[in-house]
Amino acid sequence: MGYEFGKIEKKWQKFWKENKTFKAYNKSEKPKYYVLDMFPYPSGAGLHVGHPLGYIASDIYARYKRHQGFNVLHPMGYDAYGLPAEQYAIQTGTHPEVTTNKNIEKYRHQLDRIGFSYDWDREVRTCDPKYYKWTQWTFIQLFKSWYNKDIDRAEPIEQLIKEFEKNGNLYIHAACDEVESFSAQEWKAKTEKEQQETLMHYRLAYLADTVVNWCPALGTVLANDEVKDGFSERGGHPVEKKLMKQWSLRITAYAQRLLDGLDKVDWTDNVKEIQRNWIGRSEGAMVSFGLSRYGEVETPPQPSPGGREQEPRYYNTDARTWKALKENVKDLRKNPTDAEKLLWEKLRRNQTGHYIRRQHAIGSYIVDFVCLKKKTIIEIDGKIHKYQKKEDKERTAVLQEKGFTVIRFSNQEVFEDIDKVVEKIKSFLDNKIDEEEISSEEHSTESGKVLPPGEDLGGVNVFTTRPDTLFGATFMVLAPEHELIEKITTPDRKEEVEKYVTWAKNRSERERMTEVKTVTGVFTGAYAVNPLTGKEIPVWTADYVLSGYGTGAIMAVPAHDSRDFAFARHFNLPIIQVVVREGEEPTDPATWEESYDSKEGIMINSGFINGMTVSEAIWATIDKLEEMGIGYGKVNYRLRDAIFSRQRYWGEPFPIYYKNGMPYPLDESELPLELPPVDNYLPTEKGEPPLARAKNWKTKEGYPYETNTMPGFAGSSGYYLRYMDPWNDNEYFSKEANEYWRDVDLYLGGDEHATGHLIYSRFWNKFLFDLGLVCEDEPYKKLINQGKIQGRSSIVYRIQGTNKFVSYGLRKQYQTQALHVDINLVDNDVLDIEAFKKWRPEFHDAEFILEDGKYICGYEVEKMSKSKLNVQNPDDLIDKYGADTLRLYEMFLGPLEQDKPWDTKGIEGVFRFLKKLWRLYFDENDNLIVTDEKPTEQELKVLHKTIKKVRSDIERFSFNTGVSAFMICTNELTDLKCHKREILEPLAVLLAPYASHIAEEIWETLGHEGGISYVPYPEYNEKYLKEDTFAYPVSFNGKMRFKLELPVDMQKEEIEKKVIEAREAQKWIEGKTIRKIIVVPKRIINVVVS
RNA sequence: GCGGAUGUGGCGGAAUUGGUAGACGCGCCAGACUUAGGAUCUGGUGCCGCAAGGCGUGGGGGUUCGAGUCCCUUCAUCCGCACCA
């Protein structure tokens, strides 16, 4: 009979189920331990041998912890929303839920056969209304929250509204969109809709026009982590950028905390690095550059360096007002009236002999034209600017109070006789005395704007991580999408710039990525003023600058940035070296082959920072910029907010309805908002999401519900919390349950979730932490990423144009074509020719060229997939060898975290081991042969050596060496013909986490009741491991030559003597001098001779 | 380009702190038992060499009595991010 795994495994799986052996208790005196597997998406294909790898490892650990007296939470569930079921629904009309449930059943059956110790009573499915009620609930909380930077956590939105009513948004530091400042009065004056619109800029779940990754083939948007190289991760369809109104989660508010949290979790460096990279923190400075369209004018007036007194007096308003007026100025400049345009042509560029600016902000006004030197304002009447509702009279009075003279002309005058108007202005200005002094409070510099000379175009901010190189900035580059481009481009360059911008915008992401090395760009005709040197630098636009990062504009430092360098070389722009390697002399950048990008060196050609090191200079420059009010230190993140809408059917509906076009959350009592039936799973003709097809998709009051659904990561972001208390209908989870289970002690899953699930889930948890709902701010204490199991495909070689196949070793003699062959037709690389002929009709008459009478297949290690015919189904292996063998073999394959190819042939060895183990306990007739005889020292040593090894291997998740230890132990006990209870009973317990079924069977046969799962894990006793002697390896000059058995307590001097006397040593000593003898107790003896 | 990881027999892989390189398993070779073997058992198996011995952890250099392990350098493969300022 022997080892009947089939019978045994069935029996014990039934036992576990009936006795609820693996039930976890929310109240317990035992310490808790939470072991979690990343729950699977139940695909139609079922499990292949790669899927259970992590589950087996975590199961071993969970079982080990139970043996150690822990109350173990080890749950399983299903990430049930996903594209395949929906695609299938579109094709066949089958409701995705039907498909999903069918797949879940299949998964469950497969999982059950492997003998996992899950507490199945806690199963969750993300598509279950009882579950997604809480996904929706969390969304509502996000909607009702904002992020307060002052206390660095989320707060209820009511808090914010209260503050708005008190002080407007003047003292609010929030993680939010760009919002104009407003006072309490202004807040109160807003309509409800306006207030809602304003709040939307602060909410953690918000609706906004967003540039999204639109996938036309899938008909939905995708999150950044769902897009790989410009194609959708699922399906590989092209993805394009599109502006759409979408829900987003303000995950960027948590960027720093997500980064900091990584320091306190026990994860692999790899995943931590991926997350750090994804968050992409960089420190630097925001610098304001003034912009001007100086164009054809010879030399721009040079502001004298340094010295606040001599700074040009361009600011005639304070910073806050300027901020408020800025947009208006931009707008007005963009849309001048015809009269203004006409007059400007006559006034610009000193034509009158006086320097005149247009649309300049003075106080809270924007005046049409001004000559600052003469403190004279020229206004054109007879038009109503959108933003100027006040009476001109009042305006004049105020401006006069500030010391300005206002002269007015009507539109008509300008149109009828412009020369006369210009003449009047000229003579007025000619006769007016220069107003040298402008009252000091008018241009207090606390954070004023430096506006450059020339035609004033406002300013532009750039982000740089290298403010130290500001003196080396010789040009500026704007992203083609940058809003200023249109404004600043000179007429003569307009055509060229527009052509370029259009071209750049229409290039796909894909093209932009693949053509990284081509340098393209055009000059806009505008200039920016380097705020430290006062020098004008040309402004270009080029697509190597991304609109999505920083401000979409850069200062280019070609000497110290490789991309800027390439650009400067290509377009022949100046390159100034400002950093030199310590101890080296500056060289002519014209001779350089590449830029010097290093963050180390000494500053040169850089004014006040000359001689400083780079890091000193960075800080000095930031200080200076802040002091001058033209820049500040700034931390920038690459992380983007998570787009949360999907135009799909099979997902959680948003608990949102629309009133007057504004979204409102459902009352919590109305949750869950269940997914409605639809007649068709495609978008509507109008392009609305499938939910728009649902009948009566509106509230009782008739307000329409949101028709988008949530993305895949919504349901998986908080599932580990729901496992703690999955039966709770009133709460996500009870406070008690959360305070008991707290966080996941061990989390196992693939590292493909590093930028998706693992970031979103941490964000979700931190948000709930801010709400006081969860007690740990990091959800996953320890994370292990199991490696992927790759397929091992078998290859046959067909001679081209024939139906003749040549064996692997002889294939080079022919022109062959490599074909994948089903791995089930191949054993140990030998092809079953008869089976192959029957496999496909076209091979029925195939002929073969054999080697040694066999057809040997080649192999290829690649992804396990149906098309490669290399998928190994665990069910087949369980049928043939049993679950215990499968469990052991998956662990035996290699280190858990390493990718490794699957090769079924090795499984025999593990199977043999279990059979051999069985024979320690039973004879050929299945009679128990275990005796109560006292074990020998040697036997005890074998056992305790194994206990020590297996324990330490489990602790460090080295399961492959653990299996090997069991094999060694079994081999040694077999050699010793040991059948003693005192040895074999602990061995069964030791093995139980790995090969649970056979261990249970042995345990029961040995006379125990109630199962093995909670029997204390064996402890090793050092006294059995003690050795009296040690076989010292003796080496000469580091080469091991022979072994010498010596007592362990022998003194070094004695050992040296023994070594020299040893017979085998003579050969190596002969004719040589002994220089030195090194003795490391219980390790090695090394004799140095020469 | 940046970051992370990995290179050890025919194969999967051991070697926890610098101390016997190749544990354990597969495969292969030989033998035993068998009508048979794709069952079971026993022995062998890094490479070269009849042997003594020599050579061996991707390559080169170094530290050390001693290096797969530490340092420098270089190559290759895999993964992640990528014109991120």
Torsion, CA A723, CA A724, CA A728, CA A729, rounded to 10: -50
Res. A309 pLDDT band, cuts 50 70 90: very low
A1043 touches strand B (CB under 7 A): yes
User: A412-429 pLDDT, tens per residue?
Assistant: 777 778 888 888 888 878
Average the pLDDT over A576-600 and give the result. Answer: 84
Nucleotides of B under 7 A from a protein CB: 3-5, 11-16, 19-21, 23-28, 38-42, 53-54, 65-67, 78-85
Point out the least confidently predicted range of A88-92, A505-509, A877-881, A1021-1025.
A505-509
Residue A704 beta carbon within 7 A of nucleic strand B: no
Sheet bearing A1074-1080, strands edge to edge: A1039-1047, A1029-1036, A1084-1089, A1074-1080
When pLDDT is cut at 50, 70 and 90, the band that residue A599 belongs to is confident
Residue from A104, A137, A106 nearest A123 by CA: A104
Q: What is the mean pLDDT of residues A791-817?
A: 86
pLDDT at A316 over 60: no
State which residues between 81 and 140 of chain A bring their CB within 7 Å of strand B. none
Q: Which residue is nearest to nucleotide B53 (CA to C1')?
A: A1041
In this predicted structure, what is the pLDDT of residue A536? 85
Cβ atoms of residues A542 and A455 within 8 Å = no
State how far the alpha carbon of A262 is from the alpha carbons of A66, A269, A270, A908, A934, in Å. 29, 10, 12, 42, 53
pLDDT top residue among A763 and A409: A763
What is the model's pLDDT at position A300?
Answer: 36
Distance A929 CA to B80 C1' (A): 55
pLDDT band at residue A509 using 50, 70 and 90 as cut-offs: low
Note the pLDDT of residue A675.
95
Q: What percent of chain A has pLDDT over 70?
A: 90
pLDDT digits (tens, 9 = 90+) for A10-27: 999 999 999 999 999 999
Q: Residue A321 pLDDT more than 70?
A: no
Between A188 and A872, the more confident residue is A188
- Quote the Cα angle for A656-A659-A664, to 5°: 35
Q: Which of residues 973-1012 of A touch strand B (CB under 7 A)?
A: 974
State the nucleotide closest to A834 in CA–C1' terms.
B38
Is the pLDDT at A114 greater than 80? The verdict is: yes
A966 CA, B45 C1': separation in Å?
23
The nucleotide minimizing the C1' distance to residue A755's CA is: B80
Segment of A394-398, A561-565, A807-811, A916-920 carrying the highest mean pLDDT: A916-920
Q: How far is the CA of A1043 from the C1' of B18 (A)?
A: 21
* Distance from CA(A1030) to C1'(B32), angstroms, rounded: 36
Nucleotide nearest to A1034 (CA to C1'): B20
State the first-to-last Cα distance of chain A, in angstroms, to the nearest integer. 64
pLDDT at A1037: 84
Nearest nucleotide (CA of A469 to C1'): B85
Q: Which nucleotide is nearest to A464 (CA to C1')?
A: B85
The pLDDT of residue A314 is 40
pLDDT number for residue A514: 59
pLDDT in tens, A232-271: 777 777 777 777 889 999 999 999 999 999 988 988 888 8
For the CA of A1084 and the C1' of B53, the distance in angstroms is: 23
The whole-number pLDDT of residue A122 equals: 97
Which whole-number Å values give the CA distances from A522 to A442, A497, A508, A826, A993, in the listed order?
39, 6, 19, 62, 67
> Integer distance in angstroms from CA A833 to C1' B39?
23
Is residue A978's pLDDT more than 50? yes
The strand pair at A475-478 and A522-529 is best described as: unpaired
Q: Look at residue A201 and tell me whether its pLDDT is greater than 90.
A: yes
CA A1076 to C1' B68, whole Å: 26
> Residue A968 CA to B34 C1' — how many Å?
29
Q: In the predicted model, what is the mean pLDDT of residues A145-158?
A: 94
pLDDT at A547: 81
pLDDT of A395 reads: 64
Check pLDDT > 50 for residue A1014: yes
Listed in sequence order, the residues at least 6 apart from A227 whose beta carbon sits closer than 8 Å to its beta carbon are: A213, A233, A239
Q: What is the mean pLDDT of residues A863-874?
A: 85
- Bigger pLDDT: A934 vs A752: A934
Length A1051 CA → B43 C1' (Å): 39
CA→C1' distance for A525 and B1 (Å): 31
Q: State yes or no: pLDDT of A364 exceeds 70.
A: no
pLDDT band of A830, cuts 50, 70, 90: confident
Q: Which of residues 20-49 of A touch strand B (CB under 7 A)?
A: none
| pLDDT above 80 for A947 | yes
CA of A872 to C1' of B44 (A): 33
Q: Of residues 557 to 576 in chain A, which lie within 7 A of strand B by their beta carbon?
A: 561, 563
> Which nucleotide lies at the shortest CA–C1' distance from A269?
B4
**A:799-838 Cβ neighbours of strand B under 7 Å:** 827-828, 832
> In what helix (H) or strand (E) does residue A1004 lie, and over which residues does it extend?
helix A996-1005
Residue of least CA–C1' distance to B16: A952
pTM: 0.82
pLDDT digits (tens, 9 = 90+) for A727-741: 999 999 999 999 999
Question: pLDDT: is A294 or A284 the higher one?
Answer: A284
Give whole-number Cα distances, A563 to A542, A587, A594, in Å: 11, 20, 10
Chain A 529-558, CB < 7 Å to strand B:
543-550, 552, 554-555
Is the model's pLDDT at A437 over the cut of 70?
A: no
Q: Between the CA of A908 and the C1' of B69, what is the distance in angstroms? A: 33
The mean per-residue pLDDT over the stretch A279-301 comes to: 69
Gap between the Cα atoms of A100 and A562, Å rounded: 51
Q: Per residue in A562-596, is it b (16+ CB within 10 Å) or e — as a string?
A: ebbbbbbbebebebbbbbbeeeeeeeebeeeeebb
* Listed range (A75-89, A133-147, A821-835) with the worst mean pLDDT: A821-835
Query: Of A84, A90, A82, whose CA–CA distance to A680 is shortest?
Result: A90
Is pLDDT above 90 for A983?
yes
- pLDDT band at A312; cut points 50, 70, 90: very low
pLDDT digits (tens, 9 = 90+) for A543-557: 888 887 888 899 999
Give pairs for A907-912: CB < 8 Å, separation 24+. Answer: A907/A877, A907/A881, A910/A881, A910/A885, A910/A963, A911/A881, A911/A882, A911/A885
- A206 CA, B26 C1': separation in Å? 58
A479 CB closer than 7 A to any strand B atom: yes
**Within 7 Å: CB of A754 and strand B?**
yes
A919 CA, B33 C1': separation in Å? 19
In this predicted structure, the answer to whether residue A608 has a pLDDT above a threshold of 50 is yes
Q: Alpha-carbon distance A434 to A430, whole Å? A: 9
3 state DSSP class of A392: helix
Give residue A295's pLDDT band: very low, low, confident or very high (50, 70, 90).
very low
Does at least one atom of strand B sit less than 7 Å from the CB of A899?
Answer: yes
Question: Is A452 a residue whose pLDDT tops 70?
Answer: no
Nucleotide nearest the Cα atom of A949 (by C1'):
B16
The encoded tokens of residue A438 equal 């402008």
Q: How far is the CA of A799 from the C1' of B25 (A)?
A: 36
pLDDT for the residue A515? 59
Statement: residue A1060 has pLDDT above 90: no
The sign one gets for the Cα dihedral A848, A853, A858, A864 is positive
Share of chain A above pLDDT 90, in %: 42
A598-612, A884-898, A961-975 — which is least confidently predicted?
A598-612
Residue A320 has what pLDDT? 38
Closest CA to the C1' of B80: that residue is A274
In this predicted structure, the answer to whether residue A365 has a pLDDT above a threshold of 90 is no
φ, ψ dihedrals at A827, nearest 5°: -125, 125
Q: State chain A's mean pLDDT as an integer.
A: 85
How much is the pLDDT for A307?
30
Nearest protein residue to nucleotide B4 (CA to C1' distance) is: A270
Give me the sign of the Cα torsion angle A345, A349, A351, A356. positive
Closest-lying nucleotide for A901 based on CA to C1': B12
Q: Which of residues 267-286 of A touch strand B (CB under 7 A)?
A: 269-270, 273-274, 277-278, 280, 282, 284
Q: Which nucleotide minimizes the distance between its C1' and the CA of A902?
A: B12
Q: Is A232 helix (H, G, I), strand (E, B) or coil?
A: strand
Residues 624-653 of A with CB under 7 A from strand B: 636, 638
Question: 3-state SS of A704-749?
Answer: EECCCECCHHHHHCCHHHHCCCCCCCCCCCCHHHHHHHCCEEEEEE
Q: Which two tokens stand for residue A646?
A: 């999907």
A444 touches strand B (CB under 7 A): no
- Is the shortest CB-to-strand distance from A468 to strand B under 7 Å? no
Q: What is the mean pLDDT of residues A995-1001?
A: 96
pLDDT level of residue A819 (50, 70, 90 thresholds): confident
Report CA(A903)–C1'(B81) in Å, whole number: 32
